[in-house]
Structure 1
Amino acid sequence: MDDSFCWLIVGSGSPELREHLQYQIDSMGMHDDVFIADNVFPAAPVYRVASLVVLPSENESFGMVLAEASAFSVPVVATQIGGIPEVIQNNQTGTLFTSR
Structure 2
Amino acid sequence: MDSIHLTVDSFIVLITTDHISDEAALRQVIHSPVRYVGMIGSSHKCQTILAHLRADKISEEVLARVYAPVGLALGGPTPEEIAVSILAEIIAVQRGGRAANRF
- TM-score normalised by length of structure 1: 0.38
Instruction: Determine which structure has the larger strand proportion and give its number.
Output: 1
